Amino acid sequence: MYDRNLSFQRKLKIGVEETKSPKNSATSHEQQNTLHKYFKPDKNLNQDEGSANKTTTKQNKDSDTSSTWFRCKNKHDGQKRKEMSEDDQNTKYLSSTASNPSFTRLSIKFSDSSDEDEIDIDSKRTYLRSSFSPKSDIRIYREGYPNAKDDMKINDNYEFYTNKKKSEPDGYIQWLFPLQEPGLNWSAQPLQKHEIDCIIKDQRAHERILLSYKLMLDFYGFKLVNTETGEISRKDNNDNDNLGYRSRLHNLNTSSHNYLRITRILKCLGEFDYEHLKFGFLECILRESITENTLNNCLRSCRDYWIQTLRSKQDRQSLKCYANKLIQYRNECSLPPVNFRPKRSQTAIDQSLPPSTADT
């Protein structure tokens, strides 16, 4: 659900003021009973609205998912949504977002009519290969690093994933998710083509790639639900510490240095026969960014870079159509159907499966 913390705090402030006035004692009592349906009294609710958001930037005030209101209201809506019909859900969603000052319409668009990142003109393709922009790196990645050389003497990444070599303290992300391109960690060697084959053939080493992915999902506030489809969901929340999904999502939304890491993670999954895991991750990010409004700062990176790491053009276009539809639902102040999901084409599924699985 969208964060309506600001309007809710205003209602709470009005309720408190009316409680002090004898003229509106009956009305204020009724409002207080209504408010108690959505939250439990908390000491933090007495804080001034400005002091409660001192550490929050203006850009991210609309996605403060760590508030007391969000915790209690989200739990309440999660229980009620199962009992409500789709029309009732949309009616409630419409009435709540129409008067919400933090609700904003999205103008961002995902081009689904044609894949803009596909350039067939040789001159432009040559130019992009020679440039050093992130988008050109993704293009080279999708082509399989055709100009990358395989140095048989380098086995650092294979030795790391077989517990024969320790990683350096800094730049752990380059060790956990190696690529066939130089990283920022000087001690981590670029991934060699023969290392990819060695790690895939070594069952334990290959499973450790998946374990690294699960580790980062947990850090970002998610968990892998299905290893076959790549479906992920929010991790279990723990209100007693800062490791629950709400604080993790808030951290991801406000820490843009993680976005380049996510690009690296997605590219690495494709190198080790885990291409199918990307689709579920991106579906979840789009849902959290557009519908739930918890990762609104991730939306542009998701469009420009993360979706582009998918090697299947059908998968890229499917997610773009999904994103545009979610944006349409949001701008109309309505919820998408519960079973509304993007679909992968059978060709994309077959292409992303390991050779041994696809042949059976």
**166-219: pLDDT as tens digits:** 877 667 899 999 999 987 777 789 999 999 999 999 999 999 999 999 999 999
Q: What pLDDT is stored for residue 169 in this prediction?
A: 63
pLDDT in tens, 227-250: 999 999 999 876 555 678 889 999
Predicted local distance difference test score (pLDDT) of residue 152: 95
Contact yes or no for 46/79 (Cβ under 8 A) = no
Q: What is the pLDDT of residues 109-145, one digit of tens each?
A: 998 654 554 443 333 444 444 444 667 888 899 999 9
In the predicted structure, residue 315 carries a pLDDT above the cut 90? yes
CB contact at 8 A, 342 and 129: no
Residue 337 is predicted with a pLDDT of 93
Average pLDDT over residues 32-45: 38
What is residue 295's predicted lDDT score, i.e. its pLDDT? 95
Report the alpha-carbon distance of residue 201 to residue 194 in Å, rounded.
11
For residues 209 and 260, the answer to whether their CB atoms sit within 8 Å is no
**pLDDT value at residue 344:** 86
pLDDT digits (tens, 9 = 90+) for 18-32: 434 444 444 444 444
Is the CB of residue 206 less than 8 Å from the CB of residue 272?
Answer: yes
Q: What is the arithmetic mean of pLDDT over 297-325?
A: 95
Nearest to residue 60, comparing CAs of 256, 221, 281?
A: 256
Q: Say how far apart CA 244 and CA 285 lie, in whole Å.
A: 17
Q: What is the pLDDT of residue 287?
A: 96
Inform me whether the pLDDT recorded for 323 exceeds 90: yes
Average pLDDT, the chain: 73
Residue 345 confidence (pLDDT): 79
Least confident of 102-116, 257-271, 337-351: 102-116
Largest CA-CA distance found in the chain, in angstroms, rounded: 85
Answer yes or no: is pLDDT of 267 > 80. Answer: yes
pLDDT, tens digit, for every residue of 53-96? 444 444 444 444 334 333 434 444 444 444 455 555 554 444 44
Residue 52 banded pLDDT, cuts 50, 70, 90: very low
Element (H or E) spanning 64, and its range?
none
Task: Specify the 3-state DSSP secondary structure of 52.
Answer: helix
d(Cα 345, Cα 341) in Å, to the nearest integer? Answer: 13
Count of beta carbons in the 10 Å neighbourhood of residue 1: 19
What is the arithmetic mean of pLDDT over 106-110?
90
Question: What's the confidence (pLDDT) of residue 317?
Answer: 94
Please enumerate in sequence order all residues whose Cβ is within 8 A of that of 83, keeping only pairs 6 or more positions apart, or say none. none
Alpha-carbon distance of 119 to 216, in angstroms, equals 33
Percent of the chain topping pLDDT 90:
48
Beta bridge partners of 223: 233
How far is Cα 338 from Cα 77, in angstroms, rounded to an integer? Answer: 14
Q: ∠ at Cα 265 (233, 136), nearest 5°?
A: 125
- Quote the CA–CA distance of 97 and 105 in Å, as a whole number: 10
Q: What is the 3-state secondary structure (H, E, C) of 42-58?
A: CHHHHCCHHHHCCCCCH
Contact status, residue 223 vs residue 211, Cβ threshold 8 Å: no
Distance CA 268, CA 136 (A): 16
| pLDDT at position 136 | 82
Residue 240: the pLDDT is 55
**Least-confidence region, from 7-21, 113-127, 329-343:** 7-21
Whether the pLDDT of residue 349 is over 90: the answer is no
Q: Which two tokens stand for residue 180?
A: 């066939």
Residue 11: which pLDDT band, with cuts at 50, 70 and 90?
very low
Element (H, E) at 187: none
CB crowding 251-269: b at 16 or more within 10 Å, else e: ebbbeeebbebbbbbbbbb
Rounded to 5 degrees, φ, ψ at 38 are -105, -15
CA atoms within 13 A on the CB side of 206: 14
